[in-house]
Chain A
């Protein structure tokens, strides 16, 4: 692995990690995942409450309590620079910690959206919350997996929960989306599983560190076979992160699913999937020379296809689906360059992406609540009907487009930089060109909101609920504030972007 700029301070004093709640010392190996445990239990509890209680308030309360408890547990969990508890199935290192926080953050905002969305019938919302929490557990475990079994289990946990969540609306499109998602996902994970079995057959090991050692010792025709196994495994992860050509489900599912779920799908599994992919690639590091050209090519193809097709969309959720594919392309840069700088950039951009994309979906939810429509046309003249909402949406879109001084720019800046740093000039140029393409469809929405006259003049009603306002406000504030003062964030992430296999 090439060493980037940050390599000089790879060893970080644990005390500094206290910034995000990493406390030095005092940890008992094997109990390092209380947060996951709390969330799992809480999730099941919320499911029960949701099934029994009237209305969704009790379930919502329980969800927030669970989330708070999980966060507290994560905050207070002892984390040495790296440990491998739970029979070596999971790995707690700064890198996974970052993703666990990302998952929690995603969950929190999605909960806000789900509770505010008028799409979801009140009767089933409780179950929805429960599933969201379980999905969250899956996300955290994906990022922590240190073993093929845990990787598979975590991915299935995420998949199964999301299949159900996608089909939550009682209408044909939702069911259709769920079916497509299910079939596509099951096939992908089946293929991945088969690849895992082959990998196991070739190396005789399941845990990532062992794999790394075993792969390093493989040569000849076996190496060729290893590559086939890796390709099969790639299918499952590529599906999760909507990497071309395993992206086909994305737009259909995003369009059919409830907006809040779409929001979650567009961020959570992408982050966790990237984390897992990163770790898997780390385990297969000896094969890197073979894998890297493919990864680079797919990175470019992914961002280009996502951005190109997004140009012609008329449904906002579908548009954001393609935008997600494009954004995943950018994120993959951080992976594909395979340097410390790249990993940092990946993390920074994930943080940015979390806020700006969830914020954008919050706006979509608000507009759908107000107009009942998810067509782009619903945004026509929005600036006069809901100025605050439009402003927030404009901020998110501009951030997605990578306009400074918003957080998205900082992330993209680092990603492009990591590409150049690794000498991948073509990749950087492709990403830059893509940014320009993407500008069109992002600004098109802004154009509709600000330049076009509204179809009706009265203010949007109902105006966004407090929960939605909170989601919007926090995302917008984070996008703007962290864009203006990214220093602490970068500082933090430069300490977290430490990938270790134990």
Chain B
């Protein structure tokens, strides 16, 4: 029942928030914080009880849900989903802390926020394709509202764009799901994975294409990425954190959990294309990021670049590559989540995100500067911090398989240094801009929401084995499954 409780935490929280009067802002916040906090505790409990050595899914729960279609309420975690579940719970909690800066319509906000968390957790927990799809779409609606109501800038446009892009992608995925169901007559992911190997190549390719479109929009893969900068920029800070930290991972996770196991032959066939797309993501994202003048937009494009490594590692289908891809997802979630929090901290004070409007803040807000430098370095892949491990493993894995793609993607590593240092330069260095003479440094609350991420980033960078060991078994089995299908 652990997994159900994990899902129930935010759900109950949402109901409590809905039951509270609109004016009881403190109680609403406390309820949300408690709900996400409990979810985080439960996810840690999950980590403790998880047995890396055991094969297959753990904590499995299975109950009939829609018997006529053989749809089950089927949850479980393995080494692929567990890190993402914990990541979600962690970011959900921290972004909830950051949500204290939300100024209006608290009740609606926190209700939607908690619903969002239910969807995100459910996506990673579901082992039934239908259930997965439900959770997948469930994420969409609250996020649409979060951007549209509490966002800034062209929020309506961005919310809409996010919604339509993602939904259009999901519809392609839906068609694939349906085709799959009417072929295999089951939604069970494990059964589907077994059945998928027997499908003829043409059918697998069609399926893969459908899933690809769905996941590509979320990851996002060039050229389906243009919703991302808009949505990230205009979302409220917690929304951006979850968008970058969790929602993008849903796409990557989809490849791991669905597209690759179910269409193994197609996945192998499309490996080259995936690797090329990964490289395009890496280099293109890095180049475009360099030209951005808006802080948040820059971080958004850096996400595009970083998620390219996930693709590259995935395309390699080697143990290192997959480990790297998974690690990169977790690391990117933590680091970029923190980056967005940092942008939010600055924006709350200055109400601008134009990089050229800052300058010399390093002397004025040293604590903030320390955090920003730290996470920028993690983002540009400095060894010793988590970003490096993911990138390195992806590259190692991909090098033997996709030589030239890997070499070209090194360009992205150099460019990452260029744009991240550009940020530091424009925000922190140089003479202090007189406008910010009175700028206050980070508050304790802001520091508390960032400190855990800092520790995780550092911890994963120094002791990557902690995470790699959790993932190892499941990834090995995935490779055996996919490669063995040839």
- Give the complex CA separation of A447 and B141 in angstroms: 12
B179 touches A420 (CB 8 A): yes
A416 touches B67 (CB 8 A): no
Contacts of A447 in B (CB 8 A): 148, 156, 159-160
- Give the complex CA separation of A405 and B66 in angstroms: 13
Number of A interface residues in the complex (CB < 8 A): 30
- Give the complex CA separation of A487 and B64 in angstroms: 9
A 105-148 to B, binary, CB cutoff 8 A, 1 in contact else 0:
00000000000000000000000000000000000000000000
Name the one of A403, A421, A429, A485 contacting B141, with C-beta atoms under 8 angstroms. Answer: A403
A 379-410 to B, binary, CB cutoff 8 A, 1 in contact else 0:
00001000000000000001000011100010
Main secondary structure of the interface of B (DSSP, over half): helix
- Give the complex CA separation of A403 and B64 in angstroms: 22
Q: A404-B134, A436-B164 are in contact. Are A451 and B178 (CB under 8 A)?
A: no
Asked if A413 CB lies within 8 Å of chain B CBs, one says yes
Contacts of B408 in A (CB 8 A): none
One of B78-86, B165-173, B306-314 contacting the partner: B165-173
B185 touches A420 (CB 8 A): no
B145 touches A450 (CB 8 A): yes
Chain B: CB-nearest residue to A412: B174
Select the residue from B65, B68, B134, B160 with max chain A CB neighbours within 10 A. B68
Asked if A417 CB lies within 8 Å of chain B CBs, one says yes
Select the residue from A416, A433, A447, A486 with max chain B CB neighbours within 10 A. A447
Q: Give residues 136-193 of B contacting A (CB, 8 Å).
A: 137-138, 140-141, 144-145, 148-149, 155-156, 159-160, 163-164, 167-168, 171-172, 174-175, 178-179, 181-182, 185
- Give the complex CA separation of A409 and B131 in angstroms: 13
Contacts of A443 in B (CB 8 A): 144, 160, 163-164
Q: Give residues 265-300 of A contacting B (CB, 8 Å).
A: none
Asked if A351 CB lies within 8 Å of chain B CBs, one says no
Contacts of A54 in B (CB 8 A): none
Asked if B462 CB lies within 8 Å of chain A CBs, one says no
Chain A: CB-nearest residue to B64: A487
- Give the complex CA separation of A451 and B156 in angstroms: 7
B174 touches A487 (CB 8 A): no
A432 touches B134 (CB 8 A): no
Chain A: CB-nearest residue to B180: A420
Q: How far is the CB of A435 from chain B (nearest CB, A)?
A: 6
Contacts of B167 in A (CB 8 A): 403, 435-436, 439
Contacts of A417 in B (CB 8 A): 178, 181-182
Asked if B436 CB lies within 8 Å of chain A CBs, one says no
Chain A: CB-nearest residue to B107: A387
Contacts of B20 in A (CB 8 A): none
Asked if A5 CB lies within 8 Å of chain B CBs, one says yes
B137 touches A403 (CB 8 A): yes
B182 touches A490 (CB 8 A): no
Asked if B414 CB lies within 8 Å of chain A CBs, one says no
Name the one of A383, A421, A432, A440 contacting B174, with C-beta atoms under 8 angstroms. Answer: A432
- Give the complex CA separation of A398 and B167 in angstroms: 12
- Give the complex CA separation of A150 and B123 in angstroms: 51
Q: How far is the CB of B424 from chain A (nearest CB, A)?
A: 35
Q: How far is the CB of B404 from chain A (nearest CB, A)?
A: 35
Name the one of A404, A439, A494 contacting B133, with C-beta atoms under 8 angstroms. Answer: A404
Q: A405-B134, A447-B156 are in contact. Are A487 and B175 (CB under 8 A)?
A: no
Name the one of B145, B168, B172, B185 contacting A5, with C-beta atoms under 8 angstroms. Answer: B185
Asked if B69 CB lies within 8 Å of chain A CBs, one says yes
Chain B: CB-nearest residue to A421: B182
B175 touches A416 (CB 8 A): yes
Q: How far is the CB of B41 from chain A (nearest CB, A)?
A: 27
A451 touches B148 (CB 8 A): yes
Q: A451-B148, A490-B68 are in contact. Are A439 and B141 (CB under 8 A)?
A: no
Name the one of B68, B140, B159 contacting A494, with C-beta atoms under 8 angstroms. Answer: B68
Contacts of B137 in A (CB 8 A): 403-405, 409
Q: Give residues 320-350 of A contacting B (CB, 8 Å).
A: none
Chain B: CB-nearest residue to A417: B178
Contacts of A450 in B (CB 8 A): 145, 148-149
Chain B: CB-nearest residue to A483: B134
Asked if A491 CB lies within 8 Å of chain B CBs, one says yes
B67 touches A487 (CB 8 A): yes
B138 touches A432 (CB 8 A): no
B 65-102 to A, binary, CB cutoff 8 A, 1 in contact else 0:
11111000000000000000000000000000000000
A 432-476 to B, binary, CB cutoff 8 A, 1 in contact else 0:
110110011001000100110000000000000000000000000
B66 touches A487 (CB 8 A): yes
- Give the complex CA separation of A429 and B64 in angstroms: 30
A404 touches B138 (CB 8 A): yes
- Give the complex CA separation of A494 and B69 in angstroms: 10
Asked if A428 CB lies within 8 Å of chain B CBs, one says yes
Contacts of A490 in B (CB 8 A): 66, 68-69
- Give the complex CA separation of A409 and B134 in angstroms: 9
Q: How far is the CB of A446 from chain B (nearest CB, A)?
A: 8
Q: How far is the CB of A356 from chain B (nearest CB, A)?
A: 15
Chain A: CB-nearest residue to B69: A490
- Give the complex CA separation of A5 and B171 in angstroms: 23
Q: Give residues 90-141 of B contacting A (CB, 8 Å).
A: 108, 133-134, 137-138, 140-141
Chain B: CB-nearest residue to A432: B171
- Give the complex CA separation of A33 and B146 in angstroms: 53
- Give the complex CA separation of A270 and B467 in angstroms: 57
Contacts of B164 in A (CB 8 A): 436, 439-440, 443
- Give the complex CA separation of A151 and B133 in angstroms: 42
B68 touches A439 (CB 8 A): no
A 1-12 to B, binary, CB cutoff 8 A, 1 in contact else 0:
000010000000
A416 touches B148 (CB 8 A): no
Q: Give residues 203-245 of B contacting A (CB, 8 Å).
A: none
Q: How far is the CB of B192 from chain A (nearest CB, A)?
A: 15
- Give the complex CA separation of A450 and B150 in angstroms: 10
Contacts of B66 in A (CB 8 A): 485-487, 490
Q: How far is the CB of A258 from chain B (nearest CB, A)?
A: 32
B182 touches A420 (CB 8 A): yes
B141 touches A398 (CB 8 A): yes
Contacts of A404 in B (CB 8 A): 133-134, 137-138
A429 touches B185 (CB 8 A): no
- Give the complex CA separation of A490 and B64 in angstroms: 14
Contacts of A436 in B (CB 8 A): 164, 167-168, 171
- Give the complex CA separation of A366 and B163 in angstroms: 28
- Give the complex CA separation of A439 and B181 in angstroms: 25
Q: Give residues 349-399 of B contacting A (CB, 8 Å).
A: none
Q: How far is the CB of A406 from chain B (nearest CB, A)?
A: 10
Contacts of A403 in B (CB 8 A): 137, 140-141, 167
- Give the complex CA separation of A451 and B154 in angstroms: 11
Contacts of B159 in A (CB 8 A): 447, 451
- Give the complex CA separation of A440 and B168 in angstroms: 11
Q: How far is the CB of A319 from chain B (nearest CB, A)?
A: 17
Contacts of B144 in A (CB 8 A): 443
- Give the complex CA separation of A415 and B137 in angstroms: 18
Q: How far is the CB of A399 from chain B (nearest CB, A)?
A: 11
A 411-433 to B, binary, CB cutoff 8 A, 1 in contact else 0:
00100110011000000110011
A491 touches B68 (CB 8 A): yes
- Give the complex CA separation of A404 and B122 in angstroms: 13
A439 touches B182 (CB 8 A): no
Q: How far is the CB of B62 from chain A (nearest CB, A)?
A: 15
Contacts of B172 in A (CB 8 A): 432
Contacts of B181 in A (CB 8 A): 417
Between-chain CB contacts (< 8 Å), 22 pairs: A398-B141, A403-B137, A403-B140, A405-B137, A405-B138, A413-B178, A416-B175, A420-B179, A421-B182, A429-B175, A432-B174, A435-B171, A436-B167, A443-B160, A447-B156, A450-B145, A450-B148, A485-B65, A487-B64, A487-B65, A487-B67, A491-B68
New contact pairs (5) apart from A398-B141, A416-B178, A432-B171, CB-CB < 8 Å = A420-B179, A451-B155, A487-B65, A487-B66, A487-B68
Shortest 9 CB-CB contacts between residues of A and residues of B:
A490-B68, A432-B171, A417-B178, A421-B182, A487-B66, A404-B134, A436-B168, A451-B148, A404-B137
